[in-house]
Amino acid sequence: MDNRQFRLAARPVGLPKRSDFELTTTPRPTPSDGEVLVRLAYVSLDPAMRGWMNEGRSYIEAVKLGDVMRAYAVGRVVESRAPGLSEGNYVVGAFGVQEWAAVPAAHANQIDPAIAPLPTWIGGLGVTGMTAYFGLTEIGKPQPGETVLVSAAAGATGSVVGQIATIRGCRAVGIAGGADKCRLLVEELGFAAAIDYKAEEKLAAAIRRECPRGVDVFFDNVGGETLDAALANLARRARVVICGAISQYNSTTPRAPQNYLSLLVHSARMEGFVLFDFRQRYAEAVLALAGWRAEGRLKLFEDIVDGIESFPDALLKLFCGENRGKLMIKIADV
Ligand SMILES: NC(=O)c1ccc[n+]([C@@H]2O[C@H](COP(=O)([O-])OP(=O)(O)OC[C@H]3O[C@@H](n4cnc5c(N)ncnc54)[C@H](OP(=O)(O)O)[C@@H]3O)[C@@H](O)[C@H]2O)c1
């Protein structure tokens, strides 16, 4: 049986184009000793993939030209040559944008589909959920009664951040693009307020209106002008969590924050993080997130696009706000 995969053919300039990728077909791989063969079910699409396409120093090595595009995925073990994993086990890992993957067993983490369906394991119980959990609780350190402002709030990470903030007794305020997304935040996800940044003339003024006592925690997924508008509204001793800056990922001239002196004026701090910083504690996050989900306090949404062929176009949904919840591609029924 064949294995289709998307490889990085060129380093994109600006938004990735179809010609930056090549769809190749190779024979299905055979696992070596210590490896498992995984039939992929769903492949996660993440804004970070855009950064992995760039050459240069980062928190992880760039994808090499000609290599299968790196991506998180969930699938089923169909052959095992390693102790600890057996045929029929379900696993998550960085298996790439492809249909089959032979990987060292140490790179395949077993999950339990009885706890949540497979897509949830690369969304709310996967990278995005854990990023929301550690970024908010460990970097943002929200206290009951505080105002937590979140950008890209209707997205996979942001929607979980706002819900955890509410669970922790905070007032969650979301920034999102469009009335539908804002309605979702307030009516279904329990945010106290939502700001449609596409409809506001001045975002900083809208934040002031919805956060009259200032912003105690700003969880930023967007960067650029959004970060500056939030910096203009900090409360004393605020914490600004730099989770991402999606508005800048395709820019050849990224914008630096202009209102950074607000950190001085408000004795505030701004701190970035990558999820890998917390790799020893993933189980703790999954336990908490799965518990809230089971109690009905955490709602998780997936936006599932069909078929590996859709990869280059589907990825762009993230950068124009077309996704509704955690974006992923369905590869196969496993
Ligand atoms: N630090 C870490 O370890 C880590 C780990 C995972 C993810 N992240 C970061 O978390 C952020 C969210 O990732 P996600 O996977 O959860 O994606 P997502 O929020 O589900 O999707 C991205 C959303 O960003 C918004 N957006 C895109 N371009 C924008 C722009 N120019 N201005 C304003 N908003 C824009 C869109 O929502 P609207 O319709 O509201 O515009 C879009 O739906 C990203 O910055 C990502 O890099 C960081």
Counting atoms of ligand 1 from 1, which one is nearest the CA of 326? 20
- Quick check: 193 pLDDT over 90? yes
d(CA 216, CA 234): 6
pLDDT digits (tens, 9 = 90+) for 216-226: 999 999 999 99
pLDDT at 202: 97
**Mean pLDDT throughout 128-132?**
98
> Residue 44: CB within 6 Å of ligand 1?
no
How deeply is 62 buried, as exposed, middle or buried, from its count of CB atoms within 10 A (0-12, 13-18, 19+)?
middle
> Residue 127: CB within 6 Å of ligand 1?
yes
- Measured in Å, residue 2 CA sits from the centre of ligand 1 at 34
- Measured in Å, residue 296 CA sits from the centre of ligand 1 at 24
pLDDT at 137: 98
pLDDT band at 152 (very low <50, low <70, confident <90, very high): very high
pLDDT band at 57 (very low <50, low <70, confident <90, very high): confident
CB atoms within 10 A of CB 254: 12
Q: Which of 60, 149, 222 to mutate to test the pocket of ligand 1 (most atoms within 8 A of CB)?
A: 222
d(CA 110, CA 327): 21
**Mean pLDDT throughout 311-318?**
98
pLDDT at 1: 80
- Quick check: 11 pLDDT over 90? yes
pLDDT at 56: 86
Counting atoms of ligand 1 from 1, which one is nearest the CA of 135? 1
Say whether 85 sits in a helix, a strand or coil. coil
pLDDT band at 212 (very low <50, low <70, confident <90, very high): very high
pLDDT at 127: 96
- Measured in Å, residue 243 CA sits from the centre of ligand 1 at 9
**Mean pLDDT throughout 55-64?**
91
d(CA 295, CA 192): 20
70 closest CA partner among 31, 105, 107, 43: 43
> Residue 275: CB within 6 Å of ligand 1?
yes
Assess contact for 210 and 233: CB atoms under 8 A: no
d(CA 332, CA 334): 6
3-state helix, strand, coil in the chain (%, to 5): 30, 25, 40
- Quick check: 209 pLDDT over 90? yes
- Quick check: 145 pLDDT over 90? yes
> Residue 130: CB within 6 Å of ligand 1?
no
pLDDT digits (tens, 9 = 90+) for 259-268: 999 999 999 9
**Mean pLDDT throughout 305-319?**
97
Q: Closest Cα to atom 47, ligand 1: which residue?
A: 244
Q: Which uninterrupted H or E stretch holds 264?
A: helix 261-265
Counting atoms of ligand 1 from 1, which one is nearest the CA of 303? 20
